[in-house]
Structures are given as C-alpha cells and as structure tokens.
Amino acid sequence: MNCLLCHQPLRDDPGLSGLLDARPLRLAQLCRRCFARFDQIDQQTVCPGCGRADSPSLCQDCRRWKAQGEQLLNHRAWFRYTAPMKDFIQQYKGLGDYHLHGAFADVLQVVGENQALVPIPSERGHYARRGFDPVLGLFGHLPLALWLTKADTPVPQAQKTRAERLLTRQSFTAHLPAKVPPRIVLLDDLYTTGRTLYHAKAALRAAGFEGEVISRSLIR
Ligand SMILES: [Zn+2]
Ligand SMILES: [Zn+2]
C-alpha cells in the first residue's frame, strides 16, 4: 500500500512492532514523513471547553459561550490548523479528492461505551456539488448515527468572517430513534467558533435529548 499523500510505499515500522499495546486499531494511511508534517495537539494543555491548544484554562470564547448559558462541549481536536492541514483540507474538501478520506482514520478513534457518534452533516447543496460528505468520509470507519440533517444556507461557513459565523442561524434538525444512549459525541472536521456544534447540540435538545453532548473534530 502507498501513502495517500506522497504515494511512496508504506513500510512496516520496525520500531512499533514490539509495542503491542500501542498498535493502532487501523493501519496508517500516511507515511511517517507526511504524517509528521501535521501538528498534533498536546491534550495536556488545551482549553477544557473547546480543546484550543496551549490554553490550560477556559479561553475567552468558552467563557462567552458559558455566559450565554451554554453547557460547554468539552470539545477536543486532534490537530492544529497549520499550513499542511490547510492544504490537506483544500485538496480533500475544496477540490473534492475523496480518496484522502481515510488519511487520519488510524488516529481518529473515539472510544467509550453508552454513547452515539453523530457526525455534522453537509448541506444538501454542498453534498450534491462535491459528491460526498467530508465529515462522513473522515469518520466513516466508526459506527456513526446519522441523526442530524442540515438545511441549505445562503453563504457557506468557510466564506464568512468570524463575526458572521457567530451570527449564523440554526439550520440543523435532529431525528432521534426511540432509544438513545446517555451521551452523544458530535463529530466535525473543523472547530472554528463553535457556532456549528452548539447549533447541533441545540437541535438535539429540541428533539428531546437530555443527556450529555460532547464533541470532537479533526482540527481546531
Ligand atoms: Zn507520504
Ligand atoms: Zn475554549
């Protein structure tokens, strides 16, 4: 098999074969050199509310969400939005290069019991243009609960300023099955202001879900 980014053959790393406990649940899709270009977030020093790197106490944004009466999402992300990650997202989402969807599958593991993993869906218009749902692609190796739908909005989040993003109106609807576990983990590709995820949580509440809602994203 070849690295999804540089297309060089992937070799078994002899350094990892001895560490049985550290063996990932899925095989890496990127070679070590390509993978090393992405900046993994040190989870020991993140904001407890949103997973922002190097913010060991609650950041300004999270204080604002809290002041608005939100219960924080205890969000965590795996990677920083550095230039190599921006390039990756541009190729995957922007250019619609679907074969990159599993690039981080070995890293994107969400373990835990009594929880449902609910991805943030694409708008139908975007789905139709791109031909795939980028978040479903990234997390497609996990058992996903497709309980949210998103109405088409006039301007995509990516084309908005920060202030405009925060003013975005609710466009999610949740359809829950009869039996829902006590915790829902929302999954997204990128956490910017948190607006999208808090809307998704509000949709779950509106559909009657009273349990815990937390969230994860590839990038913060
Ligand atoms: Zn590579
Ligand atoms: Zn925060």
Per-residue pLDDT tens digits of the chain, which is 220 residues long: 899 999 999 876 544 544 555 555 567 899 999 999 999 999 999 999 999 999 999 999 999 999 999 999 999 999 999 999 999 999 999 999 999 999 999 999 999 999 999 999 988 888 888 899 999 999 999 999 999 999 887 777 777 788 887 777 889 999 999 999 999 999 999 999 999 999 999 999 999 999 999 999 999 9
> Residues 121, 206: one domain?
yes
Q: Give the number of other Cβ atoms within 10 Å of residue 11's Cβ.
A: 10
Domain count, the chain: 2
pLDDT of residue 162: 80
> Residues 170, 73: one domain?
yes
> Residues 8, 47: one domain?
no
Ligand 2 centroid – CA 160 distance (Å): 21
> Residues 2, 94: one domain?
no
pLDDT of residue 192: 93
In whole angstroms, what separates CA 171 from the centre of its chain? 18
pLDDT of residue 21: 52
Ligand 1 centroid – CA 34 distance (Å): 4
> Residues 47, 92: one domain?
yes
Q: CA-CA distance, 169 to 100, in Å (whole number)?
A: 31
State which residues have CB under 5 angstroms from ligand 1, the bound ion.
3, 5-6, 31, 34
> Residues 137, 102: one domain?
yes
> Residues 16, 94: one domain?
no
Q: Would the CA dihedral through 61, 63, 66, 67 be positive or negative? A: negative
Ligand 2 centroid – CA 49 distance (Å): 4
Look at residue 125 and give its three-state secondary structure.
Answer: helix
> Residues 28, 127: one domain?
no
> Residues 10, 111: one domain?
no
The strand pair at 115-119 and 148-150 is best described as unpaired
pLDDT of residue 1: 87
> Residues 96, 47: one domain?
yes
> Domain of 32?
1-36
Q: Show the tokens assigned to 40.
A: 């993994």
> Residues 23, 128: one domain?
no
Ligand 2 centroid – CA 88 distance (Å): 24
> Residues 5, 86: one domain?
no
pLDDT of residue 128: 83
Look at residue 16 and give its three-state secondary structure.
Answer: helix
Task: For residue range 84-107, list pLDDT tens digits in order.
Answer: 999 999 999 999 999 999 999 999
Q: CA-CA distance, 99 to 105, in Å (whole number)?
A: 12
